[in-house]
Amino acid sequence: MSGALPLAGRHALVTGAARGIGAAIARRLAADGATLTLLGRHEDTLQALARELPGVAQARTLVCDVADAASVARAWQALEAAGADVHVLVNNAGQAASAPLVKTTDELWQRMLAVNLTGTFNCCRAALPAMLRGGWGRIVNVASTAGQRGYAYVGAYAAAKHGVIGLTRSLALEVGSKGVTVNAVCPGFTETDLLTDSIAKVVATTGRDAEAARREFTRHNPQGRLVRPQEVADAVAWLCTAGAGSVNGQSLSISGGEVM
């Protein structure tokens, strides 16, 4: 692809794009010249982000539940009808919930698998045919350090994210000779609304103040701080470039050295 920007002429789809890491990734890919499709469950928040992006006329929004295969199929049908093949797929949509294993309900277990793992599978399956036809593609799955090492009280979430890493590795082997790379990024605890909710839950259940609860999350990072969403977005953007063409099947830990 010609052009000064590394993703000029590429169409990138980001799931869970409305806020947090997903929004940071969308902004970065747009700045790198990509045409964006923003996928999420709430049209109003997707539209608000689309209005912020450069070249707003090229930012498409689609309401979709990635855990629902039929919903994903409808989203890709809309893209195909518009002649918009996906060159870059970033599977960012996810949820986190905590509970001791003996108190983990069937509903919580299934929800963690559905959103974090099945949603990634559904979107990979939908995006791959066009990538394989075109002989070029980038898939980046947003996993977690919980998928690299595990944490207590988040067994369902950690199992789902381990599954994302396994899927990433297997798919990378399957399509590596066909111009498509598949990688994962694994953020540590990141400064997002999701983490704010987790801190509030710790405060409510333990009686600690918010600052003490926050220290519980930062202590895992050898740098003693939370990861910034932009740092995750920068790593994703690099994996989407031609320069990362030999990087395949990797799980890049973005955690200040928590996982080595």
Please choose, from the candidates 137, 23, 139, 34, the residue with its C-alpha nearest in 3D space to the C-alpha of residue 89: 139
d(CA 98, CA 154): 5
Q: Where are the beta strands (DSSP E) in 117-259?
A: 137-142, 180-187, 251-254
What is the set of active-site residues?
A: 157
d(CA 209, CA 188): 22
Q: Where are the beta strands (DSSP E) in 143-218?
A: 180-187
d(CA 36, CA 14): 8
Percentages (nearest 5) of helix, strand, coil residues in the chain: 50, 15, 35
- Asked whether the beta carbons of 256 and 188 are under 8 A apart, the reply is yes
